[in-house]
Amino acid sequence: MITPRRTRLVRVADLQTFRHIIAALARSAQGTVVVVPTRGAARLLTRTVDADIVTREELYDRLRARLENPPRQLSPLERDVMAQASARAAAAGVRDLSFQLRPGLVAEMLRFYDQLRRQSQQVKRFEELVAEALGSDDVDKAAQRMRVQTRFLADAFRDYERRVRESDGCDEHTLRERLMAEASPNPVRHVLVTIPDWIVDSAGLYQSDFDLLTRIPGLESLDIVSTERVLASGFHERLHTWWPGLEDVSAQDVRVAGLKPCTTYDPEETRRSGSAVDSGSEVVQGFSPARPVLVTQPGAPPDEPWWTLRDREEELVAIARQLKADRRRGESVPLERTAIVYKHPLPYLYAAVEIFGRAGIAYRMSDALPLAAEPTAAALDLVLDAVASRFSRSTIISLLRSPHFVFRSGGPDAAGADSEGGAEITRESVSAFDRALSKARYLGELERLEALAADWEDEASRPALNAALAVARALAPITATHPASQQIGCLHAFWLTHIRPIADDDPFVSRERRARSAIVDMLPSLAAVHAAHGDPDWTIDDLSIAVRRWLEDQTFVPDGDAPRGVHLLDDQAARYGDFDDVAIVGVVDQDWPERPRRNIFYPPALLKALGWPSEKDRRAAADARFLDLLTSARRRTLVSTFTLDEDAIVSRSLQLDEIPRARLSTASREPFEDARVFADEALSLEPLVFDPFEGPARSWAELRTQRSPGDAPDFHGSVHDVAAQAWSVSAIETYLDCPFKFFAQHVLKLEEEPEDEEIMDPRRQGQFVHKVFEEFFAAWQQAGHRAVTPQNLDAAREMFTSVVDRALERLPAAEAGLERTRLLGSPAAAGLGDAVLRMEAERPIAVVERLLEQRLNGNFTFVTAEGQRTIALRGKADRLDLLEDGTFRLIDYKLGWPPQRGRALQLPIYSICAEQKLAGRHGRNWQLSEAAYLAFKGPKRVVPLFATPADRGKVLAEAQQRLAQAVDAIERGEFPPTPDDVWRCETCSFASVCRKDYVGDV
Ligand code: SF4
């Protein structure tokens, strides 16, 4: 039997009256349950309404708890796993399914099922409606695919319903059926619905919810409160369709027996007392809302009553300046009377921490933050990444370096098991291990790591090696395919073993513990439900997707908010907050109005047949809510949009064109951009002010003002005490490329970040090619040959080929193929070896001795414009050929392009050093006759240092001058970051440690 009840629709003009009447109606009946869209909205309403304030899900939970024997509510995780098992079972029975089953797709299926049931559709009716809409056309392939898909979905939904029935729990749909059939011994008697339907608000009620509230036993009164604008957008018509005979009353007509005066707020009184107070003077019938003023940007055209700022950060900066300007002008209201309203909380919540923190403005958040953005969740990602990459160098090093875990040096015991013992590994050990792996060209796989460990000699990195072996062995089972529950169990065990204990006095202890406990609760639950529902075989990809999906669904409400700060809240919650000033931010096309979630199964025309709303209905509802929001404040409303989202240009929302319909008067703000608002401005604008700082921050601020000026040479690459030493010529060449790069590499001795390459990096390639030529010429001389001549060129080629083949045996197969082509050539192009041999064979003067990898260390004399001087140098010439006529030829191998003649240093300086070093060899002096690069890139293989003998003197003189100037600058300690070409910075390994002063000049 249905309990007789009073059901009313209470129509209100605006949001101020909306809040007022909710408070009045909630007070009028003991035990009223008030339904709101979100927890954020509930938290706001709790400030003025003493009632049980619940979201839609919580309403079901309250009703369930009042049943005589309440059934257990299935968790979202259980439902998801049941749906996955049902989808697998249904897919096995349907042929020609046009898509693959993935966890994300099954989640969409479950969402679609919920939507159907909430719109009071049964699975059978869904099938019938789709069949009717598709007609009987058997030729259309798309229609055929839809039929197969519909059969699959219906089978999966039926299987899911069977699993729910057979479980010991209930989902929302089976609960609804039971709530309507079974009277509670302690029923909810009064419900006040403050949300519209789901077409107006994504958190709104559905047809089946309204149906439940009409029929549930024990309910005596049901009030639905809505603004006129929302009702006019189509909600009124829908309500009357579902509920013929629904009583309509306006706010003025509401008479509430025993109504006490409502809590209201008087801005003038608040300004006088400095805090919000209850004047307690109004009742429902006498309430008259205030009319806010729309604040426009200084200088904005009259037809643009909104603010346009560069990005989201600038929007918050403008609001912070506004708040400070109000305070200076004596126009401020308490901070908690101001709200910043957005459509989506991120990234506003993160930006607010930074911007309001710098401005010293207290704030409070109503929204939950995503758990996935917490550092702890990122730690779990490190574990999954290490397994997915099969323990590649970068992922295992990142895991070992993570502060969230503890890894010990105990390593494996004699039986190969992991030892619990040993000290915690150090960062130094991990860094040494990183370099050792890079040197060994380790690209992943446990077997390769174990093979390397068998011959490991580096003691500094051994603790990290042991830890890495233990990690890889513990996680290795996950790299194979195993039942889901086993995979999750292995991950869970690893997490529990290695997670670092967190101290009670850690500043992040509460957030960290909350995130950890969410993970520790999730993993065993996920394993248990999978074990109970088919336990499918999972790869590491399946495991990663499942864990990450679950993490992405979790949120938490940050604590520690200032109770009297500016409110940051979304537009759903904002309807429930009584504020003087409201700033609506981020009104861009992609967010306002909110895009409906796209249905991936059916096109809009088919969905219409299933009861889905049209885009026109949604748009009308969104505009109505936007207009409601514009008049929600009591004093001022500000609306802003922005033009840049990260690096992408975005368009303003077309809803901004609706603003005139709110009929608000406008007032332009005076500019306040030059006001000092942020802590950094206190220290960067003259005169400096220390008032915003106290304690250590103030001491530091005062200390910083006594520092040497920012344009002092010390801040621009000048250092003292660079010890004089013999620099290598290649290092001095680096100085000419960029002085700071030289400083980082040769003075600070910073090591470049290692990179994993499938093939050799250029440095290793260079070493390999040099080695091959060295081995060839040594073998050639040992065989009794001297010069390579046209007569013995073929023999030289043959010997070179066999030397190359022997050297290639040291390389992996893929790499060996590349190097063979480079050195020996292909049918399309000659190799490097041929270029080297032909060069010599074409020269008429015979070689008497060949000096390979010749060291040129010591003091050498150079002639500069300032006179003769001696410079200590180190160097190694690739090849010196002493010729019969008392001259020598100097060869430098270049794997890349040859350097520009005007910048080259090595070849000309080695020429001069070699002349001095060779003096007296074989009882004579030797003079440079030829110097050339054998370049492996560029149009010519042989590139002479000087084009004609006449150039020789000029080229050598210029090189000596460059060398002397560079050495003098190094000794003066001049290392500015000024590359000879800014493109050099693109590939520079020291970009992260250099302050690129040149940037302003480019
Ligand atoms: S990033 Fe550019 S300026 Fe900085 S050290 Fe490297 S080359 Fe020089």
- Taking only the tens place, the pLDDT of each residue in 802-861 is 999 999 988 877 778 888 888 888 877 778 888 888 888 888 888 888 888 899 999 999
Q: What is the largest CA-CA distance in the chain?
A: 125
Q: Which pLDDT score, from 0 to 100, does residue 708 have?
A: 77
Closest atom of ligand 1 to 984 CA is: 7
Q: Which pLDDT score, from 0 to 100, does residue 558 have?
A: 65
Measure the CA–CA gap between 599 and 985, rounded to whole angstroms.
47
With cut-offs at 50, 70 and 90, classify the pLDDT of residue 55: very high
Spatial CA neighbour of 264 closest among 249, 244, 284: 284
Distance 1000 CA to ligand 1 centre (A): 14
Closest atom of ligand 1 to 978 CA is: 3
From the DSSP assignment, how many helices (H) and strands (E) are in the chain? Answer: 35, 30
Average pLDDT over residues 283-288: 59
Measure the CA–CA gap between 279 and 261, rounded to whole angstroms.
10
Distance 409 CA to ligand 1 centre (A): 38
Residue scoring higher pLDDT (625 or 789): 625
Distance 742 CA to ligand 1 centre (A): 9
Q: Which pLDDT score, from 0 to 100, does residue 280 have?
A: 37
Distance 741 CA to ligand 1 centre (A): 6
Q: How far is CA 973 from CA 112, 449, 736, 969, 999, in A?
A: 69, 44, 14, 6, 21
Q: Which residues line ligand 1 (CB under 6 A)?
A: 738, 740-741, 977, 979, 984-985, 988, 990-991, 994, 996
Tell me if 307 sits within 8 A of 285, measured CB to CB.
no
Q: Could you check whether the bond before residue 687 is cis, i.e. omega within 30 degrees of 0?
A: yes
Closest atom of ligand 1 to 988 CA is: 6
Q: What percent of the chain lies above the pLDDT cut of 90?
A: 52
Residue 412 pLDDT > 60: no
Q: How far is CA 50 from CA 21, 275, 367, 424, 718, in A?
A: 13, 21, 21, 54, 68
Closest atom of ligand 1 to 740 CA is: 5
Mean pLDDT of all residues belonging to the chain: 87
Residue nearest (by alpha carbon) to ligand 1 atom 7: 985
Distance 966 CA to ligand 1 centre (A): 17
Measure the CA–CA gap between 504 and 592, rounded to whole angstroms.
43
Distance 738 CA to ligand 1 centre (A): 6
Q: Could you tell which of 740, 746, 1002 is best to mutate to test the pocket of ligand 1, judged by most ligand atoms within 8 Å of the CB? A: 740
For 638, half-sphere exposure in the C-beta direction (CA atoms, 13 angstrom radius) is 26
Measure the CA–CA gap between 160 and 152, rounded to whole angstroms.
12
Residue 184 pLDDT > 70: yes
With cut-offs at 50, 70 and 90, classify the pLDDT of residue 424: very high
Q: Could you tell which of 734, 737, 987, 988 is best to mutate to test the pocket of ligand 1, judged by most ligand atoms within 8 Å of the CB? A: 988
The C-alpha angle with vertex 314 and arms to 308 and 316, in degrees rounded to 5, equals: 105
Residue 10 pLDDT > 80: yes
Residues 6+ apart with CB under 8 A from 839: 932, 934, 941, 942
Distance 739 CA to ligand 1 centre (A): 8
Distance 202 CA to ligand 1 centre (A): 51
Residue scoring higher pLDDT (238 or 366): 238
Distance 725 CA to ligand 1 centre (A): 23
Distance 744 CA to ligand 1 centre (A): 9
Distance 186 CA to ligand 1 centre (A): 75
Kindly calculate the radius of gyration of the chain based on its CA atoms and give it in whole angstroms: 39
Q: What percent of the chain lies above the pLDDT cut of 70?
A: 92
Closest atom of ligand 1 to 985 CA is: 2
The C-alpha angle with vertex 222 and arms to 217 and 223, in degrees rounded to 5, equals: 170
Q: Which pLDDT score, from 0 to 100, does residue 673 have?
A: 65
> Quick count: other Cβ atoms within 10 Å of Cβ 126?
21
Measure the CA–CA gap between 1002 and 997, rounded to whole angstroms.
10
Closest atom of ligand 1 to 738 CA is: 8
Closest atom of ligand 1 to 741 CA is: 5
Closest atom of ligand 1 to 998 CA is: 3
Q: Which pLDDT score, from 0 to 100, does residue 1002 have?
A: 45
Lowest mean pLDDT among 121-135, 231-245, 303-317, 813-827: 813-827
Closest atom of ligand 1 to 982 CA is: 2
Residue 259 pLDDT > 50: no
Spatial CA neighbour of 648 closest among 373, 347, 986, 310: 310
Average pLDDT over residues 71-77: 92
Measure the CA–CA gap between 379 and 406, rounded to whole angstroms.
12
Distance 989 CA to ligand 1 centre (A): 8
Q: What pTM was estimated for this model as a whole?
A: 0.72
Environment class of 992 (CB within 10 Å of its CB; exposed 0-12, middle 13-18, buried 19+): exposed
Three-class DSSP labels, 271-315: HHHCCCCCCCCECHHHCCCCCCEEEECCCCCCCCCCEEECCHHHH
Tell me if 576 sits within 8 A of 306, measured CB to CB.
no
Residue 971 pLDDT > 70: yes
Spatial CA neighbour of 558 closest among 357, 323, 313, 363: 363
Distance 99 CA to ligand 1 centre (A): 50
Closest atom of ligand 1 to 977 CA is: 3
Residue nearest (by alpha carbon) to ligand 1 atom 2: 985
Residue 77 pLDDT > 70: yes
Amino acid at residue number 939: P
Q: Which pLDDT score, from 0 to 100, does residue 973 have?
A: 93
Structure confidence by residue, pLDDT tens digits, 495-551: 999 999 998 888 788 888 888 988 999 899 999 989 988 898 999 999 999 898 888
Closest atom of ligand 1 to 996 CA is: 3
Q: Could you tell which of 996, 997, 1002 is best to mutate to test the pocket of ligand 1, judged by most ligand atoms within 8 Å of the CB? A: 996
Work out the end-to-end distance of the chain between its first and last CA atoms, rounded to an integer number of angstroms: 83
Residue nearest (by alpha carbon) to ligand 1 atom 3: 977
Distance 981 CA to ligand 1 centre (A): 10
Q: Which pLDDT score, from 0 to 100, does residue 620 have?
A: 93
Distance 703 CA to ligand 1 centre (A): 30
Distance 937 CA to ligand 1 centre (A): 24
* Helices 793-808/813-824 angle, 10° precision: 160
Q: Could you tell which of 987, 994, 995, 1002 is best to mutate to test the pocket of ligand 1, judged by most ligand atoms within 8 Å of the CB? A: 994
For 282, half-sphere exposure in the C-beta direction (CA atoms, 13 angstrom radius) is 18
Structure confidence by residue, pLDDT tens digits, 669-701: 876 666 778 888 888 888 888 888 889 989 988
Distance 726 CA to ligand 1 centre (A): 23
Residues 6+ apart with CB under 8 A from 805: 820
Q: Which pLDDT score, from 0 to 100, does residue 976 have?
A: 92
The single residue listed with the structure tokens 């008030």 is 34
Average pLDDT over residues 423-450: 91
Distance 751 CA to ligand 1 centre (A): 15
With cut-offs at 50, 70 and 90, classify the pLDDT of residue 2: low
Average pLDDT over residues 405-424: 68
Distance 713 CA to ligand 1 centre (A): 18
Measure the CA–CA gap between 26 and 42, rounded to whole angstroms.
13
Tell me if 355 sits within 8 A of 316, measured CB to CB.
yes
Average pLDDT over residues 355-376: 84
DSSP-derived pairing of the beta strands 636-642 and 293-296: parallel
Distance 762 CA to ligand 1 centre (A): 19
Distance 534 CA to ligand 1 centre (A): 57
With cut-offs at 50, 70 and 90, classify the pLDDT of residue 781: confident
Three-class SS state of 584: strand
Residue 710 pLDDT > 90: no
Residue nearest (by alpha carbon) to ligand 1 atom 5: 741
Closest atom of ligand 1 to 737 CA is: 7
